[in-house]
Structure 1
Amino acid sequence: MEVEILLRDEFLKYVYDKISYMAKIYLGPAGVPHSAKRKTTIDGIKTVKELGLNAMEVEFVQGVRMNRETAEEAGQIAKELGIRLSVHAPYFINLCSEEQEKVEASKKRLLETADRAELLGADAIAIHVAFYGKMKPEECYQKVKAELGEVVDNARSMGIKNVKFGVETMAKDTAFGTLDEVISISKEINGVIPYIDWAHTFARQGGKIDYGEIIDRLVKELNLAHINSHFESLEIRKGKYVDEHRSIDYNTPPFEPLAREIIKRDISITLICESPELERDALKMKEVLLKVGYRFE
């Protein structure tokens, strides 16, 4: 019996070591944690480290209000502490607006975001790129392709070499951002990647999601070295999922199945918690990952 137990324990250790080796997971909140003493990006990064998390998304959703010096300082601190940063672009972006001046303003905001993201050492920007408006989805797709392609070209000419432009999957049927759209546009523009919001995709697909299938598509079709993503739950009203973020306790969608699919694979992924609970839910996600066999370094 003792030999059987020893063999079992050795086997489990092997399995856990293998799991930890295969998946590389970066986990943290969307913005400065609620528990940070000061609501600054630098204090947020330090708090993330203290919490035992290893990622943070810097929120520019209401506009880029960080100067370049602060961005550079925050990026250096994040690097020293081993915190992986990403950035969320302003909400005020619509590359399919009927008014070209609004399109141009959107492109300017994206370039400003990319400049700060580069200084922060962030790997990617999450972008709500467009609404269809009066355009058909294919017309909007072509417009996004042209305008976003120009933004990426301009960013590279400005010396912004490392930041990827992440087209986010969206929950609303009126928004550009189906899974197929974000994968397709990423194939066509070098420097553009999908930024997967798991709950948005769940809602857009009518409350259904196959996490493993999506991960495999991203790896196979785009050969992604790293997947950027958001996780939260959504409100449900009259049987329909709406884009109102809730705690992961709602299980709309559930997190544990995603955790299990991640650790099965040799992938690198960022999981940014966009729940209103921020670090509380991020730490719950960490508990789930530990339960299913992942070991954080």
Structure 2
Amino acid sequence: MPKIYLGPAGVPHSAKKRNTIEGIKTVKELGLNAMEVEFVQGVKMSPESAEEAGKVALELGVRLSVHAPYFINLCSEDKEKVEASKKRILDTADRAERMNADAIAIHIAFYGKKSPDECYQIVKAELGEVVDTARSMGIKNVKFGVETMAKETAFGTLDEVISISKEIKGVIPYIDWAHTFARQGGQIDYGEIIDRLVRELNLSHINSHFESLVFRNGKYIDEHLPIDNNTPPFEPLAKEIMKRDISITLICESPELERDALKMKKVLEDLGYKF
């Protein structure tokens, strides 16, 4: 039987206060068991607050992950931007470690004027250095999740994130199912991806995002929609998860957050999963 962790990207809409601890408590009250803490506009949480949030999550049995700031580009032409990006990743990892989160999601780079291969080599060197620095800072448990990306201009094909995870210890793919669906031209074989992650990386846990994307001018673009849009559909993913004895986190990045997470929960329960 799989072990499924399901919850929203950020504080649920229904939380009485807009803070992480209140978000974790609301997630638990809703019958969900995961939450991604959003640092997308910057790491503004103090180390002490991170430790407090971690204690609450541990007490309530809510699995945490963290999303790093959007302003990260390890392939920037500007060296200062690269250094600032590395600091943002380290700050995110530090807070994640303090709150006992298992992984951070990172939009790692844009190709810019470089070829994908050139960018790959740069990401490998810079991210490798970040991971080494993190370990020397005492950040031992957090995994660095390189997110699969929708945009053709971004580092983050499925092949790229699997390959970089093979090369750097402590780096994992953070699978955004909708981004991968878009990057593959509106096609996705969920079972094949899960099997590949297990086979090639020996992953015991998969970290992932789920949402629907906008279809415009003949292609899927990275604007998030509620999951009822079925771009991509959730039920086929749920069925593939249920066929396998795996552990997975499904973070709902739809604008509907917990409302869609609860819809996802019902799909899984209808297939026989017990939360």
- TM class by shorter chain equals over 0.9
Moved more, 234-243 or 187-196: 234-243
Alignment of 1:1-297 (within 5 A): 22-296=1-275
Distance 1:51 1:239 in 2: 38
- Identical residues among aligned pairs (%): 84
Is the partner of 1:235 in helix, strand or coil? strand
Q: Unmatched 5+ residue regions in structure 2?
A: none
Aligned to 1:14: none
Is the partner of 1:281 in helix, strand or coil? helix
TM-score (norm 1): 0.92
* Displacement of 1:238: 1.8
Aligned to 1:6: none
Aligned residue identity for 1:65: K
What RMSD in Å do the two structures reach over aligned CA positions? 0.4
Aligned residue identity for 1:147: E
* Displacement of 1:292: 1.2
- String of CA shifts for 1:48-88, please: whole Å, max 9, x gaps: 00000000000000000000111000000000000000000
Aligned residues: 275
Is the partner of 1:61 in helix, strand or coil? coil
Is the partner of 2:6 in helix, strand or coil? strand
- String of CA shifts for 1:219-272, please: whole Å, max 9, x gaps: 000000100000000000022100000000100000000000001001000000
* Displacement of 1:295: 1.1
TM-score (norm 2): 1.00
Q: Unmatched 5+ residue regions in structure 1?
A: 1-21
Distance 2:272 2:223 in 1: 31
Distance 1:78 1:290 in 2: 23
Is the partner of 1:25 in helix, strand or coil? strand
Is the partner of 1:74 in helix, strand or coil? helix
Is the partner of 1:64 in helix, strand or coil? coil
Aligned residue identity for 1:120: M
Aligned residue identity for 2:262: L
